[in-house]
Structure 1
Amino acid sequence: MNTKSMIIDIATTLFQQKGYKGVGLTEILKACDISKGSLYHHFPNGKEELLIACLQSLNDFITREIVEIFKKYPTTEEATRATIDKLILDFETKGTITGYTFSSIVSEMASLSDPAREACANLYHKIQDIYFNKLLADGFEKEKASSIALMMTASIEGGMMLCLTEKATTPLKVISQVITNLLKEF
C-alpha cells in the first residue's frame, strides 16, 4: 500500500471514530507514522483535503460493496436483506459498522464545508441510485422507485447510527423486516 492510501485508510477510520474535529493532525501523523511534510506532500491543502479524499474512498468502498451484493440477488427485497444482514454481521463480529456509515461526518461538516457536504451528498446519491435501479428492474414505476430508494437510504443509514448508539443490532433487524414487508406490498 502506498503512503497516500495508507494515510487515507487510517484517517478514514479516525474520522469515523472521533469525528473531523475530534482528530487532530498530530494524531493522524502519529497513527500513520509519517512527518507533517509527508502529509502535506500528499494533501497540500491539509486536513479538509484529506477528509474529502477519505469520503471519496468511502464512496468507492461502500458503493462497490452494495453493487456486488445487489448483483448477486434477483430482487431488491433479497438484495436489501443481504445488505442489511452483512451490516448486522459486521456489527456483531466487530462491535462497530466502521466503513459503512459516515453520518457523523455529515452532521459535523455539512454546514462548515461545502466540499465535504458535496462529497457526502454524492455518496448518498450513488447509494440511492443503486436502490433505484434495482427497483426499476423489479418493475416499479420511476416515481415510486425514487421514493422507496430515498426511504431505504435514510432508513439504513439511520439504522446504522441507532445500532452504534444503542450497541445493538435491533434497529437494523427491524428496518430489514419493514423494508421487506414494504416491498412485498407493491
Structure 2
Amino acid sequence: MPLLTNDKAAEIALKQDGIVPDVLDSFHGSTMLVVSYGANKDVSLGNTLSVSETQHPPQVSFLSDSPSSKYTLIMCDPDAPSRKDPRMREYRHWVVTNISPGAGDLQPANISHGNTLSSYMGPAPPAGSGPHRYVFLLYKQSNHSNASVLTTPLGSSHAGFKAKQFSAQAGLELVGANYFFAENK
C-alpha cells in the first residue's frame, strides 16, 4: 500500500471538493498548512466550522524550507453568493504578503509583521445559500516576485478576486492549501 502524505491527502481532498478546478488548476503542495481558530477549531481539509467561531483571524503555521523565506497567504470563498450560483467567485476574505515563517517547525507564522493587502473578513454566507468552501492558499515568494503587487493594498471590491491571476502577477509559487466549510442556515 502506498504511503499517503499530507500533501497527497490535500491534493485528493481539494479535487474531491472541487477546489481544483474552481480555484486552482492543480495542486502539488510542498508544505503542510495548519490553520486554527482556537481549541478544537482547526481547519482540516473540508471539515465544518461555524460562522460564529471563524469571525477573528486564525493562527497560521506551516513548515518553511528557510527562516529567511517570505510567504503570501490568501483566504477566499469560491461559492459566493452560493455554490449553485458562484457569480462572485472568488470572494476575497484575506490577503497578507511578506509573511515570515515561525521560529521552528509548525510554529505560528508572523502574520502581524506581514503586509496586509486585504484585512481579515470572517465568513458571512447568505442565509440558506448552503455550505461555502473557505480556502486558504499559501504561496512562497522568491527573489523574482513582483514587489509592487505584494505591497499594494487591494481595492474595496472583494467579489471576483482570482488567486491564480494574483499569484501569477506577483510571481508566487503555491506550496500549501487547506479549507473548511461554513454555512448560515
TM-score range, shorter chain: under 0.3
The TM-score, its normalising length taken from structure 1, stands at: 0.25
For the pair shown, which has the larger CA radius of gyration, 1 or 2? Answer: 1
In proportion to residue count, which structure has more helix? 1
